[in-house]
Amino acid sequence: MTDSDDRRQRLLALTLAALARDNFGVSSFDAATGLSRGAAGTSGNQAFVLVDDQPARGLGAALAWATRHEVDTVHLIASSATGLLARRATQFHTRVTVWHRDDRTLIEAVPEAFPEPRDVAPEHMAFESIIVEAGARASIEHGVLAGEVRGLEVCRAVTDQHTGVHRLEVGVGEHDREAFGMLHGDTPTAESLRRIVRVVDAHRSPGADPHPLNRLGAERALRDRVLADPSLIGVATLAAAPPPVPRANLKDSIPCVARGNHTDGRDVIAVFSTGIDLDVVPFAADARLAACGGDRPDTDLVIVVPERDASPVTQRLSERLVHPARIVGIRYP
């Protein structure tokens, strides 16, 4: 830990202590420690957790900390994404109250609704055939049409905000698409896309040498493998599905979702992640809630990870769900 990290941890711990004292009358913590995303402490049978780094992904870390300290009530404090956190907290047996922080005042957060469904613009759907013919898989998430190669986005349909022109941009990420357009603007999109599909496919094929193109979107590469053979997780059919909330940045490592059926017709929601991600269980529960709503809260939920990442903490958190998830580890890569 650097000196600046240490100072930040001390400041967050002091802030949490002040918030707990002013809002809950807690004079001191029985146990207090730094948290990867903030600070945490216990008082009696209650945990107080202040999430400062990426609050939207802080519920898993808070629950893991509370589980380790054997408390059954959690006060989760954040300055943003509190409506999302409150919605995800409803899926757990552990009593979690989410508080929105406004300076030194705490306001209890209300679970927010999911984003309204968005259709892809008809002008964008016209690019689907180009994507497929180039050898990529067409992907639709929250109204956005993109093309993926082994889980990595290589193109996206966009509308120019200045001219209103619809086009298919080629590249990995917004900046890459802009750079590619400046360098190869006179190259036909179909030809450009076929070329990049071949390059990306070679780098993301099993056994390929390490390369930036096969380090990005590892969770999506895992999903791509299971989509090709759903029997790897014991289901009959499986298709990619949108995440519960839109991705802010395709280069961030965020779990991804698929939906399918067992051989007996029962629905299944599969969520894919790599590495030890403390927030994959809240994310997965949210994905099931988004897909099935309150009508089928016990729909089978499978969290798919590489065998090496099937950690005990993920299992413990899944058991804390009102309707527990199954953890399935597969050989990958």
282 with 60: CB under 8 angstroms?
A: yes
What are the residue boundaries of the structural domains of the chain, listed by start? 3-108, 122-214, 218-330
User: What is the pLDDT, as a whole number, of residue 45?
Assistant: 94
Per-residue pLDDT of the chain (333 residues; tens, 9 = 90+): 566 778 888 899 999 999 999 999 999 998 787 787 899 999 999 999 999 989 999 999 999 999 999 998 999 999 999 999 999 999 999 999 999 999 999 999 999 999 999 999 999 999 999 999 999 999 999 999 999 999 999 999 999 889 999 999 888 876 566 655 655 564 557 888 999 999 999 999 988 999 888 889 999 999 999 999 999 999 999 999 999 999 877 777 899 999 999 999 999 999 999 999 999 999 999 999 999 877 788 999 999 999 999 999 999 999 999 999 999 999 887
* Cα 257 from Cα 241, distance rounded (Å): 5
Enumerate residues 6+ apart whose C-beta is below 8 A from 306.
222, 274, 329, 330, 331, 332, 333
In this structure, how many other beta carbons lie within 10 angstroms of the beta carbon of residue 75? Answer: 25
> 162-199 burial, b for 16+ CB within 10 Å, e for fewer?
eeeeebbbbbbbeebbeebbeebeeeebbebbbebbee
User: What is the pLDDT, as a whole number, of residue 174?
Assistant: 66
User: What is the pLDDT, as a whole number, of residue 203?
Assistant: 93
* Cα 329 from Cα 199, distance rounded (Å): 29
User: What is the pLDDT, as a whole number, of residue 178?
Assistant: 61
* Cα 300 from Cα 319, distance rounded (Å): 13
Say which amino acid occupies 122: P
Closest by CA to 235, choosing from 305, 173, 328, is 328
Domain 218-330: which topology? Answer: Trna Endonuclease; Chain: A, domain 1 (3.40.1350)
Q: Which residue has the tokens 């900046």?
A: 175
Is pTM beyond 0.85? Reply is yes
User: What is the pLDDT, as a whole number, of residue 181?
Assistant: 60
* Cα 264 from Cα 131, distance rounded (Å): 34
38 with 12: CB under 8 angstroms?
A: yes
User: What is the pLDDT, as a whole number, of residue 87?
Assistant: 98
Enumerate residues 6+ apart whose C-beta is below 8 A from 282.
59, 60, 63, 88, 89, 91, 92, 317
User: What is the pLDDT, as a whole number, of residue 26?
Assistant: 94
